A and B are shown apart, each in its own frame.
Chain A
Amino acid sequence: MTDTEEMKPEKILVIDDEKATLKMFRLFLDLYGFDIHTAESGEEGLEIFDREKPGIVLTDIKMPGMDGIEVLKEIKRRAPQTEVIVITGHGDMDLAIQALNLDAADFINKPIQRKSLENGLAKARERLKIAQSLQDQVNRMDRQQPA
């Protein structure tokens, strides 16, 4: 990881059908130093995802139209290394487990606690870092063992 990469704010996409929620996310994530993109539906979210290629995606699960699980599947299909955090309603444990099985980074219950948001983001970053270092190792090993 280079300094220039660290300087550049990390891209994050938030998908939620609630405008007010999106607004809050923007405030929070701005404070955490992300480059925030928001979408009001799953469809719009995928569009922005394709354009911006964010490393982390936060998506609500219950949405009209395309729901969070479908968004998760689609993103994992297009870019498996992307970390997706799903936002679930209270008590939607089935959906949360389903999401984790689909390789979601974490799930956050609504109403969103600052702590769990920070934990989720940290976990996502961790996973990204591990994935990155794994990738680096693989690359190094490739270089160390020339054919």
Chain B
Amino acid sequence: MSNLLLLIPIALGLGFLGLLGFLWALKTDQFEDLEGSANRILDDDDRPLK
């Protein structure tokens, strides 16, 4: 029973972190251009962009 008191909050906390991560990504416009992001990773040019 006592391990449950430890494990359940950990499990919930991890799930909650995942949810926060998703909401953060949503808030910072990371789903605005799915096609662009998919292609950007293939761009070989390492010079920084503005």
Query: Are the chains A and B members of one assembly?
Result: no
Using a CB–CB distance below 8 Å, which chain B residues touch chain A? none
